[in-house]
A and B are shown apart, each in its own frame.
Chain A
Amino acid sequence: MAIPIPVEINHIREKGLVRITWEDGHVGEYPKDYLRGYCPCAACQGHGGGIKFVSVSNAQLAEISAVGNYAIEFCWQDGHNTGIYTFEYLRSLCPCPDCKQSDGPAEK
């Protein structure tokens, strides 16, 4: 099981992004609108399979918490908190140039 684990999740409010540092040393900076748009919950993604970007303008990130051993929950200021981002999914979302060249988001 080679799913990488994040070691630090830093919500940098000033820049409106979340910086994730992974166990293997990789660092990715996720703009908050990007994170919100790729929320994996059923309300955002429906049940059709495949991941799409659902744009939410000016989403504000309220809180970040860990879920069990495997995921992160982002709680938004509009009360939306149903998205559970598994580590694997989060890593596949990484927007850095190196990752973007490979595949897009994995299955949720």
Chain B
Amino acid sequence: MGTIGKDVVLEALKKVQDPEIHRDIVSLGMVKNLEIEDGKVAFTVELTTPACPLKEKIQDDCRKVLAGIEGIKDLEISFGAQVRGSKSGAGQTDLLPTVKNVVLVAAGKGGVGKSTVAVNLATALKMHGAATGLLDADIYGPSVPILMGVKEEPKKIAVNGGFKLVPQIAHNLPVMSIGFFLEPDQAVIWRGPMLGKALQQLMADVQWGDLDYLVVDMPPGTGDVQITFSQQLKVSGAVLVATPQDVALADVVRAKSMFDKVMIPIVGIIENMSYFICDGCGKRHEIFSSGGAERAADRFKIPFLGQVPIISSIREWGDKGVPILVQDPKSEVSKVFLEIAAKLAGQLSVVSEASRRAQALKIIST
């Protein structure tokens, strides 16, 4: 019996597709460290995110296609993850070169629970094993300091004649908020230029270190802050948070039209306050009706990432500065957030393939 060639194994593995990117794992460069010795085949599949929801599917598929090769006695598939950057914004100075993916958590209006979703999404991505940071850009009502239990101002350190802000670490996440720079209980009554200046600092002067994902809690609506982000940052995508009732559709439409204009892909919709499970009777109550966000996702062909229930413990622990995922990782709602984060990470991997074309823009002068 002859030895098995690496080319034979790779050829077979070409039949395995990444279920999200829809290309084979060999040409995507995901197969690493292939070693063959005495009929024992070992390799690593490098996933595009540690939060990959499809690990088992890929593993099964690999086993299936290799089963057809004669002489393989033993098969060892291990998994690694290398999060790919999906930032676009061609030919532009990258203000966050150490951050691979910038995700905006946005909504067409306030009060839909963006901050709660942003905090728990960031925590979930971290729990999946990705280096994640959280940036609170909601100038009108920064709530991340409360939700993450951070009170102190970030430290300033001198770097190359200027200074950088070092984010506070809360529940293992580096956290930065515009709220750290505001007087408590004071309204922000800035005009555009001041706002721009503050955001510029928040975007450029924070020392995040190497991050796979930076989750940004945006202010509600479609205004100055959104425009500044879309012009100055290389944003990977936006996640829209909506509530279930039909009027939520109108807000999704507005937010979508803005992100379309600035060509930031919408990587998903999350329906928040989706349903309430009564702790007395155990019945599911759909307080704000149901499925509005899903219908909106359907209509605009945006991936629907999931439904987050109304549960008083989310609020209770939020008020105490502890994300529900940290407090009670096994709870139903924590599972929901972990699933949503995995789907989101998957969508960002898809976007990263698509955004390469935008990155190709060359600006030259001859």
Give the interface of A toward B (CB within 8 A).
1, 3, 5-14, 23, 64-71, 84, 86-87
Q: Are A68 and B365 within 8 A (Cβ)?
A: no
Q: Are B263 and A8 within 8 A (Cβ)?
A: no
- Which residues between 326 and 361 of chain B lie within 8 Å of chain A, taking CB atoms? 357-358, 360-361
Q: Are A11 and B366 within 8 A (Cβ)?
A: yes
Given contacts A9-B361, A66-B90, A69-B263, 10 further A-B contacts (CB under 8 A): A8-B364, A23-B357, A66-B363, A67-B92, A68-B89, A68-B92, A68-B264, A69-B235, A70-B261, A70-B262
Q: How far is the CB of B196 from chain A (nearest CB, A)?
A: 14
Q: Are B357 and A68 within 8 A (Cβ)?
A: no
CA of A3 to CA of B362 in the docked complex: distance in angstroms? 18
Measured CB to CB, the nearest residue on chain B to A9 is B363
Q: Are B365 and A11 within 8 A (Cβ)?
A: yes
Q: Are A7 and B361 within 8 A (Cβ)?
A: yes
Measured CB to CB, the nearest residue on chain B to A70 is B263
Known contacts A68-B230, A68-B231, A70-B263: A8-B91 contact under CB 8 Å: no
Is B47 an interface residue, CB under 8 A from the partner?
no
Q: How far is the CB of A108 from chain B (nearest CB, A)?
A: 11
Measured CB to CB, the nearest residue on chain A to B365 is A11
Main secondary structure of the interface of B (DSSP, over half): loop
Residues from chain A with Cβ under 8 Å of B364 in the complex = 8-11
CA of A43 to CA of B89 in the docked complex: distance in angstroms? 26
Residues from chain A with Cβ under 8 Å of B235 in the complex = 68-69
Residues from chain A with Cβ under 8 Å of B76 in the complex = none
- The 6 tightest CB contacts between A and B, nearest first, are A70-B263, A69-B263, A66-B91, A11-B365, A66-B92, A68-B230
Is B88 an interface residue, CB under 8 A from the partner?
yes
Is B38 an interface residue, CB under 8 A from the partner?
no
Q: Are B91 and A69 within 8 A (Cβ)?
A: no
Q: Are A69 and B363 within 8 A (Cβ)?
A: no
Q: Are B366 and A12 within 8 A (Cβ)?
A: yes
Q: How far is the CB of A100 from chain B (nearest CB, A)?
A: 24
Measured CB to CB, the nearest residue on chain A to B236 is A69
Q: How far is the CB of B215 from chain A (nearest CB, A)?
A: 19
Q: Are A5 and B358 within 8 A (Cβ)?
A: yes
CA of A89 to CA of B234 in the docked complex: distance in angstroms? 21
Q: How far is the CB of A40 from chain B (nearest CB, A)?
A: 13
Residues from chain A with Cβ under 8 Å of B232 in the complex = 68
Which of B91, B262, B263, B358 is in CB contact (< 8 Å) with A65? B91
